[in-house]
Chain A
Amino acid sequence: GQNIDQPTEMTATEGAIVQINCTYQTSGFNGLFWYQQHAGEAPTFLSYNVLDGLEEKGRFSSFLSRSKGYSYLLLKELQMKDSASYLCAVTDSNYQLIWGAGTKLIIKP
């Protein structure tokens, strides 16, 4: 079967750095997405990785290792507004998007 694993919940302090991990087992791989979802709102696109390595976009970076079936989202200089769920999703060999359950990130002052 197809599976994406993320921690259910993480807590971090304002101004700090947090890394949210995602491991996947899918039928093929055609790219990995990270989305942010605030409570009661729709997911918004953060990043896309298809090749190994680190993609940096402002305070957010995303890393991919295809051989390990592993990705992480790195959030720097955490702000209270970063409190949200972070969803990892993988496109499989049929170009279907497989979603993880999301990681709820709680930021404390």
Chain B
Amino acid sequence: EAEVAQSPRYKITEKSQAVAFWCDPISGHATLYWYRQILGQGPELLVQFQDESVVDDSQLPKDRFSAERLKGVDSTLKIQPAELGDSAMYLCASSQNEREYTDTQYFGPGTRLTVL
């Protein structure tokens, strides 16, 4: 069964350092999502890609966060500089279809980030 891949699974960094997360969606999935999830809360959408284009980054803190999906396949999310409040689980998900359609999102295993 096809899965969403993410790396690393765990990351510990000091504040003010740069961190990067990688995601490879299920093959053929056009839509890719990056979420941040704090313990005890639901996932919060950071950015949504349709192929290589950003369709929603309204909740992405753009002063320190950036995301790209250059070839419309895998994606990287970067934080620079990291702050203590960035400690969370970072989840990547993908879905098959275009916008204007309700489709199931499938999640990768996530990256647990701890900022010291």
Contacts and interface: CB of A to CB of B under 8 A. Distances in A.
A70 interface: no
Contacts of B110: 41-42
Bin the interface of chain B by size: 20 to 34
Interface residues of chain B: helix, strand, loop or mixed (majority): loop
Contacts of A41: 109-110
30 contacts: A4-B42, A31-B102, A33-B104, A40-B89, A40-B112, A41-B109, A41-B110, A42-B108, A42-B110, A43-B107, A45-B104, A45-B105, A48-B102, A48-B104, A50-B102, A87-B42, A89-B42, A91-B102, A95-B99, A95-B100, A95-B102, A96-B45, A96-B56, A99-B42, A99-B43, A100-B42, A101-B40, A101-B42, A102-B40, A102-B41
